[in-house]
Amino acid sequence: MNIQPLLKAIDQSNPYKKYGKVIRVVGIMIESQGPEANIGDVCYIHASTSARPPVLSEVVGFNNEKIILMPYSELTEIGPGCLVESEGRPLSVKIGRGLIGKVVDSLGKNLDKTDLPKGLSNYLTEQTPPNPMLRQPINEPIQVGVKAIDSLLTVGKGQRIGIFAGSGVGKSTLLGMIARNSSADVNVIALIGERGREVREFIEKDLGKEGLKKSIVVAATSDQPALMRIKGAYTATAISEYFRDQGLNVNLMMDSVTRVAMAQREVGLATGEPPTTKGYTPSVFATLPKLLERAGTNEVGTITAFYTVLVDGDDMNEPIADTVRGILDGHFIMDRKLAERGQFPAINTLKSISRIMNQITDKEHKNLAQQMRSLLAVYEENSELIQIGAYKRGTDPEIDRAINFYPKIQSFLKQEIFETISLEDSINKMKALLNGG
């Protein structure tokens, strides 16, 4: 037996543990003198009483050779002189097929406090996006199971879509429909900054037992520290990457990327970054592309991603919405006016776009979708004249045709929450409607 490698490892190992100590705590920021650590390394802060478990934290910056840490949990019983121990590595979580059907937190631990199944692998939460030259082109549609999307806004395997909406317009319900009806192999659902009440409601009502059977839910509620909310997004993306590397087609659904940006803003301001647009720090606009570009295709599998964007006051041009829209491969605009009229899902198909649709649909499907969009556009342009009775039938054949088809199209675009419909059926229904069947 060759023991030389073992002897070399012993020589290179350090038998002493090096600790730092807490010297300052301001808000969510902890400053410590030592130990040796790099940006992103995990550290344990040992509480002043040995009975308390150590507080898990991460190195987020430096200040005159002092380390700036952010905790993953609440700061309790931490005071001046508390010992800080570095793990010497970034955060990793346990991932594997055994997680399917589970609800975990940002650190990959079961939220129901039970032990994780055996046979899981350690996986770093922060990964680099796939090499652009190794990304496979998107050339195949994926069934979403929502008529309005499959017919007029067809999504491809590996496409990244933003769902833009104000509060209470039905984003979470739409995500639940996609999770239940999609043809993807696995769903990874990240609930970031949600109210604690909504997590269980989403799992039991929107997702349901059938949806949970092929899903992994990562939850980081609004009461948790900013770093936990950010890591929820990274952990969900890392889980998706693991299954993509197994050759599977994965759906990644994140609700919402706006709250990830808000959490990053908290961290940035605490570490001394200057606020720029609407108080968002430069690190927010650097972090978003790195996170969103991790989804998509690689050599063996795909991550089809749906990111919800919460727009303040229904302003679709606010900084985060504008940045995310520029990164992704399409966007669905959810319209409060449609929701108030009782149309669900409240997707404004004229303002929405799927940038990949023309590459993944045949000529007939494209023509049918264009006809339906054209009819909707003509009606919307003349809706005021029609509604006040100022338009006389027979004046313009196009407007007459739009008026005849409008109620049928509105009925077609509506869908019950638990109604299941395939991609082929959506296209056939659209064809029958436009051909007068």
pLDDT of 171: 86
Instruction: Note the residue count of the chain.
Output: 437
Helices assigned H by DSSP within 317-362: 319-327, 336-340, 357-360
Residue 159 is predicted with a pLDDT of: 95
Q: What angle do CA 276, 279, 281 make, to 5 degrees?
A: 55
What was the pLDDT predicted at 418? 87
- pLDDT tens digits for range 9-64: 777 766 677 788 999 888 888 999 988 888 889 999 988 776 778 888 999 888 88
Residue 255 has pLDDT above 90, yes or no: no
* Token pair 């043809």 in the structure block, residue: 183
Segment 331-385, tens digit of pLDDT: 999 988 888 888 889 999 999 999 999 999 999 999 999 999 999 999 888 888 8
CA distance 356 to 296: 12
Query: Helix (H, G, I), strand (E, B), or coil: what is residue 184?
Result: coil
Q: What is the per-residue pLDDT for 264? A: 92
For residue 249, what pLDDT band results from cuts at 50, 70 and 90?
Answer: very high
pLDDT at 81: 86
* Letter string b/e over residues 126-136, b meaning 16 or more CB atoms within 10 A of that residue's CB: beebbeeeebb
The 10s digit of each residue's pLDDT in 53-81 is 888 899 988 888 899 999 888 877 788 88
Give the separation between CA 177 and CA 211, rounded to whole angstroms: 9
Residue 173 pLDDT exceeds 90: no
What phi and psi, each to the nearest 5 degrees, are found at residue 243? -70, -35
Which burial class, exposed, middle or buried, applies to 417 when counting CB atoms under 10 A from its CB (0-12, 13-18, 19+)? middle
pLDDT number for residue 342: 85
- Looking at residue 260, its pLDDT comes to 94
Sequence-distant (≥ 6) Cβ neighbours of residue 408 within 8 angstroms: 433
Which pLDDT score is estimated for 376?
A: 93
Give me the mean pLDDT over the 311-336 stretch. Answer: 86
Q: CB of 60 within 8 A of CB of 70? A: yes
**Chain-centre distance for alpha carbon 388:** 43
- Angle value at C-alpha 277, between 309 and 283, nearest 5 degrees: 75
* pLDDT score recorded for residue 272: 84
Copy the structure tokens of residue 350: 């004229």
How far apart CA 290 and CA 286 sit, in angstroms, is 7
Residue 259 φ then ψ, to 5°: -75, -25
CA–CA gap between residue 49 and residue 187 (Å, rounded): 42
The predicted-structure confidence for 131-153, as pLDDT tens digits, reads as follows 999 899 999 999 999 999 999 99
H or E segment to which residue 77 belongs? none
Structure token digits, residue 144: 């979403």
Q: pTM higher than 0.85 for the full model? A: yes
SS3 110: strand
| Arithmetic mean of pLDDT over the chain | 88
pLDDT tens string 102-137: 999 999 888 887 888 888 889 999 899 999 998 999
The span from the CA of 128 to the CA of 79, in Å, is 36
Q: Calculate the CA 389 to chain-centre distance.
A: 45
Confidence class for position 256, pLDDT limits 50, 70, 90:
confident
Q: How far apart, in whole angstroms, are the C-alpha atoms of residue 376 and residue 383?
A: 10
E strands, 311-403, are 330-333, 353-354
Share of the chain above pLDDT 70, in %: 97
* Average pLDDT rounded to a whole number, residues 173-202: 89
Q: What tokens does 303 get?
A: 């991550």
The per-residue pLDDT for 285 is 93
Distance CA 134, CA 130 (A): 7
Quick one: tokens of 271? 């570490």
pLDDT at 314: 63
| Whole-number pLDDT of residue 146 | 93
Asked if the peptide bond before residue 141 counts as cis, ω within 30 degrees of 0, the response is no
At 205 the pLDDT is 85
Q: Give the pLDDT confidence score for residue 289 in this predicted structure.
A: 93
pLDDT of residue 50: 67
Helix or strand holding residue 350 (H, E): none
DSSP conformation class of 67: E
